[in-house]
Amino acid sequence: MTSLHFKDQTNFYAGKVRDVYSIAHDLLVMVASDRISAFDVILPERIPYKGQVLNQIAAYMLTACGDICNNWLLASPLPHVSIGKRCIPFALEMVVRGNLTGHAWRTYQSGERKLCGVALPNGLKENDFFEHPIITPSTKAKVGHDEDISEASIFKKGICTPAEWDRLCKYSTLLFERGKKLAAEKGLILVDTKYEFGKLDNEIVLMDEIHTPDSSRYFYSDGFADRQRAGEPQKQLSKEFVREWLIQNDFMGKPGQTIPTMTAQWVNTVSNRYIQLYEQLIGEAFKPQYVSEEIIVETVDRCIEDLKGREIA
């Protein structure tokens, strides 16, 4: 989508998944692509309808959590497009974990009993619940891999003040509680997720996507306890199965490793898993839509003019 150009556009940035367009000095247009990344590497293949799934879940969840803290979103005029306020981001991802899964489990399995300065109890099995959700932040790297970081290092690097950190932790905890509640209503467990925040007029504001399969991990609640007792893998809806496939094919984003090729069948499987999560989480049938670049530009320009006319922007 790099060929798009909007009225009053001042900048363009291609993220791992989203194409971000700056409009004047106060708005952003985010176009969710069908790119897929893992281990901070963009994989060569595109996943049909992934961008639409991510954008629609994010818009739904930002609205459902809007009473907890203000967020950047102003409008989502198209299935894979969102328009919102431009914020000054914290170079930080607030990762909240309810279960010992994924990166946390791999760290734990290696013998480590601390993650981002947070002590981990002995005797846990993979996917066990923590007594209370833990916050394990990571840096938001512009280039290369995000890295785990402790609270003490956050202050040392000047990423945020102690007062801001307290607020970030409070918002992240409340958002995770809301996310778990929304998931539970649909028969799912929100296992872990990440939130990104910025500042707008000295106010901390929630940014980007929340509770999507790219930013979060979900387990099916039905049968969870039985599978844990039996030591069986959990049935899940998330991007973790893509990471697991990459690991099985000797790729974790490390230097010298070769990205394995996705077959057409595997691409279709990944696409269907994203759609399945949408339908389970939102509770309605997914309606695939294709929108031409011409329609995107016309619709976004018209929406921005409407926002400005209502003095929302």
| Token pair recorded at residue 308 | 């400005």
| 3-state helix vs strand vs coil in the chain, percent to 5 | 35, 30, 40
Instruction: Please list, residue by residue across 54-66, b when 16 or more beta carbons sit within 10 angstroms of its beta carbon and e when fewer do.
Output: bbbbbbbbbeebe
| Token pair recorded at residue 107 | 């760290």
- How many C-beta atoms surround the C-beta of residue 193 within 10 A? 27
Q: What percent of the chain has pLDDT over 70?
A: 97
The answer, yes or no, to whether residue 146 has pLDDT greater than 80, is no
Query: Is 89-242 CATH 3.30.565.10?
Result: no
Question: pLDDT category, 196, cuts 50, 70, 90?
Answer: very high
Q: What is the DSSP letter of 118?
A: E
Gap between the Cα atoms of 159 and 139, Å rounded: 9
User: For the chain, which residues make up each domain, given as ranges?
Assistant: 9-88+261-309, 89-242
Sign of the alpha-carbon dihedral angle for 160, 93, 134, 114: negative
CATH number at 9-88+261-309:
3.30.200.20
Count of residues for the chain? Answer: 313
Instruction: Please give the mean pLDDT across all residues of the chain.
Output: 94
- Cβ neighbors of 229 (< 8 A, separation 6 or more) are none
Mean of pLDDT values over 91-117: 96
Identify the CA nearest to 80 among candidates 143, 159, 1, 160.
Answer: 1
Helix (H, G, I), strand (E, B) or coil at 253: coil
pTM above 0.85, yes or no: yes
Question: pLDDT category, 313, cuts 50, 70, 90?
Answer: very low
